[in-house]
Structure 1
Amino acid sequence: MSERPLVTQNLSFRRKIWIVLLLAWPAIVENVLQTLVGFVDTYFISKLGLVEVSAVGITQTILMVYFAVFMSVGVGSTALIARYIGANNVQKAKRVATQSIWMSIWVGLLFGIGTLIFAEQILKLMGAEPVVIEQGIIYFRIVAIPSILISLMYGIGSLLRGAGDTVSPMKAGFWMNIVHLVLDYVLIFGIGFIPSMGIQGAAVATVISRIIGVFLLWRYLQKSTVSLASDWFKQWKSDLSIAKSIIQITTPAVMERLIMRFGQVLYFGMIVSLGTYIFAAHTIAGNIEAFAYLPGYGFAAAASTLVGQQLGANRIKDAIQFGWISTGLCAVIMGILGVFEFIGSEWMAHFFTQNLSVIQQVTIALKIDAFKEIPLAIVLVLTGALNGAGDTKWPMYSTAVGIWIVRVIGVYTFGVAFHWGLAGVWIAILLDNLWRAVFLSWRFYSQKWAK
């Protein structure tokens, strides 16, 4: 779908459903491809051993903090781009794009330098066994020092989605992930004259695929019909009014994601304390259940774009309806996927390990997680809708309570104090999502965000 404004008067309810689906499906496919790579990545690494699985799992936990910041810069950009596209103010949209790209560059460089200096200290904070940390440092340094690649991928992708183009990021993701899959196998296990590089090979494959992803996204941005990237280098100086607007929307979104990720670091540390095999089971379960919530990100992207564009055109009723339509469609789809997750949990666990104890733990976690899918659909899509409206504070409030009170305390209480192990951990995750689903539904229903 091209990045043309989607604001049209007098749309029927059926037409609105169709527009949501048109915007959501490319984003869903893109996320499926990314998760598939993570799935295969974990599968390949699991052949090296559970220590390597835990090393990559711990590293990914830290990287989630990085992703949180990079994605949040994109939240502000998406909201403003959508608003100005909806108001047919293309020149203002271009100014937002310019400032967003530069912000992505500087933030990525900052995190890369931080990784170069503090990689070992950061991983030691997780409290893993020395052999796990030793492998984790290798992977972490290779994939995170060039953080500018990750930052630009999120930044450019958010600009395209804000303009209503979810197809181009999907295309870039497709080719990036194809390259990743091929290189993953070749560099991890070796083939012909190419030696086996193990966990280091997995990291190198990731970096090369990200280089390709940034290149493709940049080409698509240059070719966009509203030419969002046409003046970015000429206008390299800061536009304080635009930068301030991006930061005002971005700051609560950054805080929301950091609250989430630092909370995850804390309770992941609790899981690590339960043992390497328990954490390996948690990592495997997380990779499997990621497929079930992928529609949430697609419909969240659609809701963010549509709510922002409708508000830009001063069509508040349409913005509200698009938000609820996106939420309802996603809840149905993720609920169905939850049923399949419950039924096939043990079968899926066998793909990653033959260790019966780990398989049992993964199965328990996935059966509990199946009940989380509908609440999570509501959380993801309404967060996207509120972010598209620029109302980023309330998702931050819901996450602060959900992660630091419901989830962290729940993981300690059920998982550690009650000795329920991984089952207790995933029960706490379920309760957190139930809380946030209710809270965000109330906020969106209030319609105060539209003001």
Structure 2
Amino acid sequence: MKNKGSERNKYSLWLLAWPIFLEQFLQFLLGTVDTLMVSRISDNAVAVVGFSNQLFNALMTLFATVASGAGIVIAQKIGSHKEEDARTVAIIAFKVTTGIGLFLSILLVAAPRQIASMLQLPEELLSLAEVYISIVGGGMILTAMMSVLGTAIRNTGNTKGPMMTAIGMNIIHIVMNYCFIFGAFGFPEWGLAGVAISTVVSRLLATIVLLFIFLGSFQRKIGPRDFSIFDRKLFKEILNIGWPLGVNSASWVFSQLAIFSFLAVLGSTELTARTYMNTLESFCFLLGFSLALAVQIQIAHLYGAGKTKEAYRAVFKVLAIGLPLVLVNAFIIVLFGRNVLGLFTGDEDILALCGVLLWMNLMLQPGKMINMALGNSLNAVGDTRFTMNISLISMSIIATGCSYLLGVSLGYGIIAIYACMIADEYIRGIWSYFRWRGRKFLRMKEADLAREGAQKDKEQYRCEEGAASPAL
């Protein structure tokens, strides 16, 4: 009973959420400092970093397919007390994800300028992009390893390990940025190239720490020989959940990449404004995102354990907490956002544009919160194809298609693009709400449990009959 109680506590929403929140908050805080430092190089450098990060996020979906699917399967297997299967899933995911990351690293080192040019980056930014993409992109294998290791560790219920690692990584990154940008402590002033180098070095150190934690995350420690393990059946389970997640994630990331390309066509002012807004927007949903990620882990564990009623109610508890927090945060940013942006840039055109976008952000964030909570909950029970389908439809037509039509073709600019992003969030949120209320996968789980119970009763009856028959 003690072990069961400690396991329930381990997967409580609060214990899962607060380390994720602290990790995300400090990453945001340090990321803001990072952006502030890069802005001391130039606004063009900020635009290149924002654009490149969208590219990296798009490519990350190639290995997020395996990492995300494995995370959910790990939580489900642990919930159903299949610890060895969870361990095997983690090992398989690590190997596959690392291989994909290596391929992407080679690609980005080989053709950074061509990729940036193909994505319509303005000519004046190409030389900076070539340097930044080749260095940071060359470390994509580290990003892949961090992604799968962090996901696997969190879904065992240990959210503190990735939190501490992320904090250390970002502090090292900021210190190295300071050294390379300002030439402090005798370091050379390498500008944006120095920022890229500090990014790769800090990720390398974080990967080493996460790998150490990963090896001891399961009941039976993972050793070097275990990395030869491969189970086709379990890998198929990962892909069944993971490939729709990958497509879903790719839909969002590629829509954002397309939007950044539209903004690049509109001009560097719009592109830089969006980059600064990305930094401010992150503050709005930090706690909401942390709760949504925590509830995904919790629901996957409850679903694996057959506790479908608790799983169903969990998402509404998260929405009751998350929505007010998101609204309060968004309103605070409306009040103080322009003053904060003044720390980054003195360009009045950028500041005026961001002033309008701050009010639109107040409408955007509740829709995002609904999508994060309900979408993650649907994914946790394996209903990933539904979230994939609504993402493909809404993001391709509303977020991307209408953004181009209204923002670029008809000339309404970034304001119209933001309006399309808002519409996309609410449309997907409404779809996800009604899907969750339908309880399709939860009812399927209940039916499976009922069949398993009936089968066990039959087997027990046969055993009792067999034991009684000699006496007859």
The code of the aligned residue for 2:47 comes to S
Q: Deviations over 1:346-379 (max 9, x none)?
A: 1122121011111111111121011111111111
Pick aligned residue for 1:155 from 148, 154, 164:
148
TM-score calculated relative to the size of structure 2: 0.89
- Structure 1 pair 4/68, CA: closer, same or farther in 2 (3 Å)? farther
Does the aligned pair in 2 maintain the 1:259–1:403 contact within 8 Å?
Answer: yes
Pick aligned residue for 2:380 from 388, 394, 397:
388
Which residue number corresponds to residue 117 of structure 2?
124
Which residue number corresponds to residue 340 of structure 1?
332
Does the aligned pair in 1 maintain the 2:65–2:242 contact within 8 Å?
Answer: yes
Which residue number corresponds to residue 235 of structure 2?
243
5+ residue gaps in structure 2?
445-472
Query: Could you tell me how far apart the structure 1 residues matched to 2:385 and 2:248 are?
Result: 8
- Structure 1 pair 44/279, CA: closer, same or farther in 2 (3 Å)? same
Pick aligned residue for 2:347 from 335, 338, 355:
355
Query: Could you tell me how far apart the structure 1 residues matched to 2:134 and 2:141 are?
Result: 13
Residue 360 of structure 2 corresponds to residue 368 of structure 1: yes
Q: Deviations over 1:408-449 (max 9, x none)?
A: 133224323443322222111111111111111111111113
Query: Could you tell me how far apart the structure 2 residues matched to 1:281 and 1:169 are?
Result: 31
Equivalent positions of 1:203-242 (< 5 A) are: 203-224=196-217, 226-227=219-220, 230-231=222-223, 233-242=225-234
2:37 is paired with a residue whose SS is: helix
5+ residue gaps in structure 1?
9-14
- Structure 1 pair 196/59, CA: closer, same or farther in 2 (3 Å)? same
- Structure 1 pair 5/401, CA: closer, same or farther in 2 (3 Å)? farther
Which residue number corresponds to residue 96 of structure 1?
89
Quote how far apart the aligned CAs of 1:37 are. 2.9
The code of the aligned residue for 1:406 comes to I
Pick aligned residue for 1:430 from 399, 411, 422:
422
Quote how far apart the aligned CAs of 1:174 are. 0.9
Quote how far apart the aligned CAs of 1:82 are. 0.6
Which residue number corresponds to residue 460 of structure 2?
none
TM-score calculated relative to the size of structure 1: 0.93
Does the aligned pair in 2 maintain the 1:70–1:150 contact within 8 Å?
Answer: no
Which residue number corresponds to residue 301 of structure 2?
309
Quick one: percent identity of the two aligned structures?
A: 24
Quote how far apart the aligned CAs of 1:400 are. 1.3
Q: Bigger shift: 331-340 or 34-43?
A: 34-43
The code of the aligned residue for 1:339 comes to F
Quote how far apart the aligned CAs of 1:140 are. 0.6
Which entry has the higher C-alpha Rg, 1 or 2?
A: 2
Equivalent positions of 1:42-441 (< 5 A) are: 42-224=35-217, 226-227=219-220, 230-231=222-223, 233-441=225-433
Kindly indicate whether structure 1 or structure 2 has the higher relative contact order, using CA contacts under 8 Å at least 6 residues apart.
1
> Structure 1 residue runs of 4+, over 4 Å off?
3-8
Q: Deviations over 1:73-104 (max 9, x none)?
A: 22111111111111111111111111111112
**Greater helix percent: which structure?**
2
Quote how far apart the aligned CAs of 1:131 are. 2.1
**How many residues matched?**
441
CA RMSD of aligned residues (A): 2.0
Q: Bigger shift: 253-262 or 233-242?
A: 233-242
- Structure 1 pair 331/24, CA: closer, same or farther in 2 (3 Å)? same
1:290 is paired with a residue whose SS is: helix
Does the aligned pair in 1 maintain the 2:109–2:135 contact within 8 Å?
Answer: no
Quote how far apart the aligned CAs of 1:327 are. 2.7
Query: Could you tell me how far apart the structure 2 residues matched to 1:175 and 1:294 are?
Result: 19
Does the aligned pair in 2 maintain the 1:5–1:88 contact within 8 Å?
Answer: no
